[in-house]
Protein backbone atom coordinates (compact mmCIF):
# COMPACT_ATOMS: atom_id res chain seq x y z
CA UNK A 1 0.00 0.00 0.00
CA UNK A 2 2.83 2.37 0.92
CA UNK A 3 4.58 1.55 -2.38
CA UNK A 4 1.41 2.41 -4.34
CA UNK A 5 1.14 5.79 -2.60
CA UNK A 6 4.78 6.58 -3.37
CA UNK A 7 4.33 5.61 -7.03
CA UNK A 8 1.21 7.78 -7.22
CA UNK A 9 3.13 10.74 -5.76
CA UNK A 10 5.98 10.23 -8.27
CA UNK A 11 3.44 10.15 -11.12
CA UNK A 12 1.73 13.29 -9.82
CA UNK A 13 5.09 15.09 -9.58
CA UNK A 14 5.91 14.15 -13.16
CA UNK A 15 2.55 15.38 -14.45
CA UNK A 16 2.94 18.64 -12.50
CA UNK A 17 5.90 19.48 -14.77
CA UNK A 18 3.53 19.45 -17.71
CA UNK A 19 0.86 21.98 -18.62
CA UNK A 20 -1.72 22.10 -21.36
CA UNK A 21 -0.04 23.58 -24.40
CA UNK A 22 -0.98 26.62 -26.38
CA UNK A 23 -0.96 26.45 -30.20
CA UNK A 24 2.29 24.92 -31.44
CA UNK A 25 4.98 26.34 -33.65
CA UNK A 26 4.45 24.87 -37.12
CA UNK A 27 7.91 23.39 -37.79
CA UNK A 28 10.94 23.37 -35.49
CA UNK A 29 13.83 21.17 -34.43
CA UNK A 30 14.65 19.81 -30.99
CA UNK A 31 18.04 19.62 -29.26
CA UNK A 32 18.83 16.30 -31.01
CA UNK A 33 18.21 17.75 -34.48
CA UNK A 34 14.92 15.94 -35.06
CA UNK A 35 12.33 17.96 -36.98
CA UNK A 36 8.84 18.35 -35.54
CA UNK A 37 5.46 19.19 -37.08
CA UNK A 38 3.00 20.01 -34.29
CA UNK A 39 0.16 21.84 -36.03
CA UNK A 40 -1.52 18.84 -37.68
CA UNK A 41 -4.84 17.08 -37.24
CA UNK A 42 -4.80 13.73 -35.41
CA UNK A 43 -3.71 10.91 -37.78
CA UNK A 44 -3.16 13.42 -40.59
CA UNK A 45 -0.80 12.20 -43.31
CA UNK A 46 1.69 14.67 -44.74
CA UNK A 47 4.40 14.52 -47.38
CA UNK A 48 7.73 16.27 -47.57
CA UNK A 49 10.53 16.19 -50.13
CA UNK A 50 14.21 16.03 -49.29
CA UNK A 51 17.53 15.18 -50.88
CA UNK A 52 18.39 15.15 -54.57
CA UNK A 53 18.41 11.46 -55.47
CA UNK A 54 15.06 9.70 -55.49
CA UNK A 55 15.89 5.98 -55.32
CA UNK A 56 13.80 3.02 -56.44
CA UNK A 57 14.38 -0.72 -56.58
CA UNK A 58 13.18 -2.12 -59.91
CA UNK A 59 13.26 -5.82 -60.80
CA UNK A 60 14.09 -7.03 -64.30
CA UNK A 61 11.21 -8.72 -66.11
CA UNK A 62 11.35 -12.28 -67.49
CA UNK A 63 13.15 -11.00 -70.60
CA UNK A 64 15.85 -9.19 -68.60
CA UNK A 65 14.51 -5.64 -69.08
CA UNK A 66 14.69 -3.12 -66.26
CA UNK A 67 12.07 -0.49 -67.08
CA UNK A 68 12.57 2.73 -65.12
CA UNK A 69 9.48 4.91 -65.33
CA UNK A 70 9.32 8.65 -64.80
CA UNK A 71 9.76 9.71 -61.15
CA UNK A 72 6.06 10.67 -60.98
CA UNK A 73 3.15 11.73 -63.17
CA UNK A 74 4.26 15.36 -62.83
CA UNK A 75 8.06 14.91 -62.81
CA UNK A 76 9.70 13.93 -66.12
CA UNK A 77 12.73 11.72 -66.45
CA UNK A 78 15.88 13.65 -65.48
CA UNK A 79 18.80 14.00 -67.89
CA UNK A 80 20.81 11.55 -65.80
CA UNK A 81 20.07 8.44 -63.78
CA UNK A 82 22.31 5.93 -62.05
CA UNK A 83 21.61 2.19 -62.10
CA UNK A 84 23.52 0.06 -59.61
CA UNK A 85 26.13 2.82 -59.47
CA UNK A 86 26.55 3.20 -63.25
CA UNK A 87 25.47 6.61 -64.61
CA UNK A 88 23.36 6.90 -67.76
CA UNK A 89 22.67 9.97 -69.86
CA UNK A 90 18.97 9.54 -70.58
CA UNK A 91 18.88 12.30 -73.19
CA UNK A 92 21.29 10.44 -75.49
CA UNK A 93 19.41 7.11 -75.48
CA UNK A 94 17.65 6.14 -78.73
CA UNK A 95 13.85 5.94 -78.74
CA UNK A 96 12.18 2.56 -79.39
CA UNK A 97 8.97 0.85 -78.36
CA UNK A 98 9.15 -1.73 -75.59
CA UNK A 99 8.68 -5.14 -77.24
CA UNK A 100 6.42 -7.79 -75.76
CA UNK A 101 8.00 -10.48 -73.61
CA UNK A 102 6.61 -13.86 -74.71
CA UNK A 103 7.87 -17.10 -73.11
CA UNK A 104 10.85 -15.19 -71.65
CA UNK A 105 11.89 -13.95 -75.10
CA UNK A 106 11.50 -10.45 -76.54
CA UNK A 107 9.22 -10.36 -79.57
CA UNK A 108 11.67 -7.87 -81.13
CA UNK A 109 15.33 -8.02 -80.09
CA UNK A 110 16.91 -5.02 -78.39
CA UNK A 111 20.71 -5.06 -78.25
CA UNK A 112 21.28 -1.80 -76.36
CA UNK A 113 19.65 0.35 -73.71
CA UNK A 114 16.94 2.71 -74.95
CA UNK A 115 13.96 4.82 -73.88
CA UNK A 116 10.38 4.74 -75.08
CA UNK A 117 8.17 7.58 -76.30
CA UNK A 118 6.91 8.31 -72.78
CA UNK A 119 10.46 8.80 -71.46
CA UNK A 120 10.82 5.49 -69.64
CA UNK A 121 14.40 4.21 -69.65
CA UNK A 122 14.80 0.54 -70.58
CA UNK A 123 17.98 -1.34 -69.69
CA UNK A 124 18.59 -4.62 -71.50
CA UNK A 125 20.52 -7.79 -70.65
CA UNK A 126 19.72 -7.85 -66.93
CA UNK A 127 19.11 -10.98 -64.87
CA UNK A 128 15.36 -11.72 -64.70
CA UNK A 129 13.85 -11.13 -61.26
CA UNK A 130 16.94 -9.38 -59.86
CA UNK A 131 16.38 -5.85 -58.55
CA UNK A 132 18.46 -2.90 -59.67
CA UNK A 133 18.83 0.31 -57.67
CA UNK A 134 17.79 3.26 -59.83
CA UNK A 135 18.74 6.76 -58.64
CA UNK A 136 17.01 9.69 -60.33
CA UNK A 137 19.69 12.37 -60.20
CA UNK A 138 18.46 15.75 -58.96
CA UNK A 139 14.95 14.52 -58.10
CA UNK A 140 14.01 14.95 -54.42
CA UNK A 141 12.64 11.91 -52.62
CA UNK A 142 9.08 12.33 -51.34
CA UNK A 143 8.41 10.79 -47.94
CA UNK A 144 5.30 10.61 -45.78
CA UNK A 145 4.57 10.98 -42.08
CA UNK A 146 1.43 10.27 -40.05
CA UNK A 147 0.59 12.46 -37.07
CA UNK A 148 -0.18 10.88 -33.71
CA UNK A 149 -3.39 11.38 -31.70
CA UNK A 150 -2.34 14.93 -30.81
CA UNK A 151 -1.44 15.98 -34.36
CA UNK A 152 2.32 15.66 -33.84
CA UNK A 153 4.73 14.18 -36.39
CA UNK A 154 8.52 13.93 -36.37
CA UNK A 155 11.45 13.38 -38.74
CA UNK A 156 14.05 11.64 -36.59
CA UNK A 157 17.74 12.45 -36.58
CA UNK A 158 20.48 9.91 -35.87
CA UNK A 159 24.02 9.06 -36.94
CA UNK A 160 22.80 6.32 -39.29
CA UNK A 161 19.72 8.18 -40.56
CA UNK A 162 20.31 11.92 -40.31
CA UNK A 163 17.50 14.41 -40.74
CA UNK A 164 17.64 16.23 -44.08
CA UNK A 165 19.62 19.46 -44.25
CA UNK A 166 16.89 20.95 -46.43
CA UNK A 167 13.31 19.90 -47.13
CA UNK A 168 10.17 21.09 -48.88
CA UNK A 169 6.78 21.01 -47.16
CA UNK A 170 3.51 22.37 -48.54
CA UNK A 171 5.39 24.06 -51.35
CA UNK A 172 7.78 25.96 -49.05
CA UNK A 173 11.50 25.21 -48.71
CA UNK A 174 13.12 24.97 -45.28
CA UNK A 175 16.68 24.76 -44.02
CA UNK A 176 16.88 22.57 -40.93
CA UNK A 177 19.70 24.72 -39.54
CA UNK A 178 17.49 27.82 -39.69
CA UNK A 179 14.55 26.24 -37.84
CA UNK A 180 14.02 27.42 -34.28
CA UNK A 181 15.02 24.99 -31.52
CA UNK A 182 12.24 24.11 -29.07
CA UNK A 183 11.25 21.40 -26.63
CA UNK A 184 8.64 19.26 -28.38
CA UNK A 185 5.19 18.95 -26.89
CA UNK A 186 4.12 15.67 -25.29
CA UNK A 187 1.08 13.61 -26.18
CA UNK A 188 -0.44 11.69 -23.27
CA UNK A 189 -3.64 9.75 -23.92
CA UNK A 190 -4.48 12.08 -26.78
CA UNK A 191 -3.99 15.23 -24.69
CA UNK A 192 -1.43 17.89 -25.63
CA UNK A 193 1.10 18.92 -22.99
CA UNK A 194 4.27 20.99 -22.95
CA UNK A 195 7.20 20.74 -20.57
CA UNK A 196 7.42 23.66 -18.13
CA UNK A 197 10.78 23.91 -16.31
Averaged pLDDT score across all residues of the chain: 85
In terms of DSSP H, where are the helices of 71-193?
none
- Indicate left, alpha or beta for 103 from its phi (over 0: left) and psi (-120 to 50: alpha): left
Q: In the predicted model, is pLDDT for residue 170 greater than 80?
A: yes
Residue 105: its pLDDT value, please? 94
Lowest-confidence segment of 3-12, 102-111, 183-192 by average pLDDT: 3-12
pLDDT(164) > 70 = yes
Q: Could you give the angle at the alpha carbon of 135 between the alpha carbons of 130 and 138, nearest 5°?
A: 170
pLDDT digits (tens, 9 = 90+) for 53-90: 888 999 999 999 999 998 888 788 999 999 999 999 99
3-state secondary structure of 184: coil
Q: Where are the domains of the chain?
A: 20-49+144-195, 53-137
Report phi then psi at 155, rounded to 5.
Answer: -100, 110
CA-based nearest residue to 126, from 86, 90, 154, 165: 86
User: Does residue 98 register a pLDDT over 80?
Assistant: yes
3-state per-residue secondary structure call for 67-82: EECCCCCCCCCCCEEE
| Residue 22 DSSP label | -
**pLDDT higher than 90, residue 121:** yes
Confidence of residue 163 (pLDDT cuts 50, 70, 90): very high
pLDDT attached to residue 42: 94
Name the DSSP letter for residue 107.
Answer: S
> Is the pLDDT at 157 greater than 70, yes or no?
yes
Going across the sheet that includes 153-155, the strands are: 27-29, 35-37, 153-155
Is residue 4's pLDDT more than 70?
no
Report pLDDT for 141: 84
pLDDT of residue 92: 93
Give percent of the chain with pLDDT exceeding 90: 61
d(C-alpha 46, C-alpha 37), whole Å: 10
Between 3 and 189, name the one with better pLDDT.
189
Mean pLDDT across 84-113: 94
- Least confident among 2-6, 33-37, 42-46, 171-175: 2-6
pLDDT tops 70 at residue 18: no
3-state DSSP call for residue 91? Answer: helix
Instruction: Name the band, by pLDDT with cuts 50, 70 and 90, for residue 16.
Output: very low
Amino acid sequence: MLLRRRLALVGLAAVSCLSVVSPAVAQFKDSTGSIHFQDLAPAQKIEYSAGDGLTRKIAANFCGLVIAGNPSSTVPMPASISVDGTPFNTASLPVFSVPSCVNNVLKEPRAANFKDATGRVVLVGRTPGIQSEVVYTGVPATKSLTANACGYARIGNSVTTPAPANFTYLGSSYSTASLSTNIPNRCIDGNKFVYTP
